[in-house]
Amino acid sequence: MAKIFCIANQKGGVGKTTTSVNLAAGLAKVGQRVLLVDLDPQGNATMGSGVDKRQLALSVYDVLLESASIQEAAVYAEKSGYHVLGANRELAGAEVELVELERRDQRLKEALAPVLGAYDFVLIDCPPSLSMLTLNGLCSAHGVIVPMQCEYFALEGLTDLVNTIKQVHANLNRDLKIIGLLRVMFDPRVTLQQQVSEQLKSHFGDKVFNAVIPRNVRLAEAPSYGLPGVVFDPSAKGSLAFVEFARELVERIPTM
């Protein structure tokens, strides 16, 4: 049965989508069957996996509104090596439409149930807000992977996210927990980043993944080629770090 992880952080531009697509590709590379769910109307994870968001016949929008199943709507991103349940701007409307509906925060969870046997991992790329979309992600998941930059306000932002996760845990999803914090866009030459990294480790202990994702321009270039960095330039430092992270995650599964 698939493990379901949200990639979440309510800040924008912290590396959620980069983590989602490269972790998906890294897991695929080490032999795991992966479904990547794009829950952000920007559709960056969709495009970055090599699926054209403008050409989607069906998307996660149709799944949330129960007019399509995941089997019908997911597509195989061949070069990336995993399935994608894509998103585009239509999804922004779901936010409003869902409010009116029953079981509005359970839609994704219910849709995922029939496909869990077909995957080892389901990764959910969340938008940068606590919206009905993110709530659907958090209600579906076994845990949250939090990408974060080691910057001055990082810990502060984390408090909000931790509180949100506690609330969802208490009221909606008893399974939910933080799987781990992933240090991304890391530059070891910056003293402040080293300090924040040490702070993170002393606050959160082994909740901080050993893998560290460096700042690496190849990871930033890859989306314009419609590929995860891990596929676009497998030997780039950032790509190697994501494959290492994928291995670490697979190793941690039995202890979760």
Applying CB under 5 A, the span of 8-16, 181-189, 202-210, 242-250 interacting with Mg ion comes to 8-16
Q: Please, which residue, 11 or 183, has the CB nearer to Mg ion?
A: 11
Applying CB under 6 A, the span of 13-21, 93-101, 109-117, 194-202 interacting with ligand ADP comes to 13-21
Burial of 88 by CB count in 10 Å (0-12 exposed, 13-18 middle, 19+ buried)?
Answer: buried
Q: Please, which residue, 16 or 142, has the CB nearer to Mg ion?
A: 16
Restricting to residues 155-194, name those near ligand ADP by CB under 6 A: 184-185
| Number of neighbours of residue 45 by Cβ within 10 angstroms | 32
Q: Does 220 bind ligand ADP (CB under 6 A)?
A: yes
CB of 184 to ligand ADP, least distance (A): 5
DSSP-H helix ranges across 100-236? 107-112, 132-140, 154-171, 191-204, 217-221, 229-232
Q: Which helix (H) or strand (E) holds 64?
A: helix 60-64
| Chosen from ligand ADP, Mg ion, none, partner binding at 114 (C-beta under 5 to 8 Å by type) | none
| CA max distance for the chain | 51
Packing angle between helix 16-29 and helix 237-252, nearest 10 degrees? 70
Q: Does 131 bind ligand ADP (CB under 6 A)?
A: no
Sign of CA dihedral 241, 133, 44, 79: positive
Q: Does 124 bind ligand ADP (CB under 6 A)?
A: no
Give the CA angle between residues 79, 81, 83 to the nearest 5°.
Answer: 110
Q: Does 35 bind ligand ADP (CB under 6 A)?
A: no
Q: Please, which residue, 16 or 183, has the CB nearer to Mg ion?
A: 16
Binding region for ligand ADP (CB under 6 A): 12-18, 44, 128, 184-185, 213, 215-216, 219-220, 238
